[in-house]
């Protein structure tokens, strides 16, 4: 009897193992489906990517670079904005290969252009590195319009790369002139040190803010992109300007994001880059990790700035009362009532002056600086 029971138990055990082996593959997790990004991909829109503090050459940077190339198959961005610390440590030709060319080779091979700003870890001589497209200048500007970098239409988008390491008078004069003369609907400044940040390591660059913010407000800057703190953070609008900190695309400080009143959304647990799409008066964005997780997204409307006041309707003109005439006596034998003169006609309201047309944007990017 015991032998028969043991044989039965053994048979059941074998059956269970067989069934488990058969069922297990069906229960195995399926590969994750491509991430659906909250980007509208509108016809004629301007699409770009923002990354910062990248030049380490470590595994995190390479993982992030691969994810960028993967995402571009779904979201074909045209260029990349780099907000500084593009090359940590030495910058020999071999370092440029390891810390920039190799991680982003798939993008470069696809014709994606990179536009860099200098960070505090960058050698100023890197402004002459061809793939950074700085034209040998520490600060410069370029025009990007919906439909492509070479297509100029009404409005458009202009970027201003600033060297926040050294805000010389010459640079400030250049920036004030360029911002003031630009007729672009969107004016986007990018540089390294954030005017607002909740990063524990660095935080807001107060001295830099004192210099740049009044210029930005006066001249209608819409968006500011920065890095330095190795986190991602979207700041509450400050004086009508949207601020982003994108400093964890190649370097990461986990837990470095403090909880402050500045933050709309922040993330400090993995490497992050940001996608952006501009269509008309809308700025769409999505912050994405190296594994394809979307940690922040939304759409921001272009605010009306001090440099572009909202037109006000012509004021209504109140009718001008007709003064009561004073009778003038006439030397006649028989006194008669003085005639009442006709009412004075009400003057017509002067029409408001017509708005001057915006200056035509130049068809080519211009890069200026010392």
Query: Torsion-angle region of residue 148: left (phi > 0), alpha (psi -120 to 50) or beta?
Result: left
pLDDT at site 258: 97
Minimum mean pLDDT range among 179-188, 203-212, 262-271, 351-360: 351-360
Half-sphere exposure for 123 (CA within 13 Å, toward CB): 12
pLDDT in tens, 200-237: 999 999 999 999 999 999 999 999 999 999 999 999 99
Closest by Cα among 159, 164, 157 to 197: 164
pLDDT in tens, 359-369: 444 434 444 44
Q: In the predicted model, what is the mean pLDDT of the chain?
A: 80
Measured distance CA(332)–CA(330) in Å, rounded: 6
- Which CATH number fits the domain 46-301, given the four candidates 3.20.20.80, 3.60.21.10, 3.40.50.300, 3.40.50.720? 3.60.21.10
Measured distance CA(287)–CA(41) in Å, rounded: 16
């Amino acid at each position: 009897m015991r032998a028969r029971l043991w044989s039965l138990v053994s048979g059941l055990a074998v059956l269970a193992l067989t069934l488990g082996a058969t069922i297990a593959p069906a229960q195995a997790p399926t590969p994750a489906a491509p991430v659906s990004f909250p980007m509208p991909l509108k016809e004629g829109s301007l699409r770009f990517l923002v990354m910062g503090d990248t030049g380490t050459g470590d595994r995190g940077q390479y993982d992030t670079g691969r994810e960028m190339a993967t995402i571009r198959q779904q979201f074909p961005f045209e260029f990349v904005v780099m907000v500084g610390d593009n090359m940590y440590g030495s910058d020999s030709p071999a370092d440029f290969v390891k810390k920039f060319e190799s991680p982003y080779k798939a993008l470069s091979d696809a014709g994606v252009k990179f536009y860099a700003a200098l960070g505090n870890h960058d050698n100023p001589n890197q402004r002459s590195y061809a793939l950074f497209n700085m034209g040998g200048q520490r600060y410069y500007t370029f025009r990007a319009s919906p439909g492509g970098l070479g297509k100029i239409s009404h409005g458009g988008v202009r970027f201003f790369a600033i060297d926040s390491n050294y805000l010389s008078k010459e640079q400030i004069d250049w920036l004030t002139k360029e911002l003031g003369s630009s007729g672009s609907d969107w004016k986007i400044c990018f540089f390294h040190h954030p005017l607002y940040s909740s990063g524990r390591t660095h935080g807001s660059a107060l001295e830099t803010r004192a210099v740049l913010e009044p210029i930005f407000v006066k001249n209608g800057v819409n968006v500011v992109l920065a890095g330095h703190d190795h986190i991602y953070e979207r700041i509450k609008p400050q004086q009508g300007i949207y601020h982003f900190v994108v400093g964890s695309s190649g370097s990461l400080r986990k837990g470095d994001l403090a909880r402050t009143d500045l933050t709309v959304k922040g993330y400090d647990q993995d490497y992050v880059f940001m996608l952006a799409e501009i269509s008309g008066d809308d700025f769409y964005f999505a912050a994405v990790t190296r594994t394809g997780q979307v940690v922040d997204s939304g759409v921001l409307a272009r605010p009306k700035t001090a440099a572009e006041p909202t037109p006000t309707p012509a004021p209504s003109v109140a009718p001008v009362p007709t003064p009561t005439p004073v009778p003038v006596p006439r030397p006649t034998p028989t006194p008669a009532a003085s005639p009442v003169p006709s009412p004075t006609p009400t003057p017509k309201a002067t029409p408001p002056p017509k708005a001057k047309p915006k200056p035509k944007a130049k068809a080519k990017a211009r890069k200026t600086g010392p």
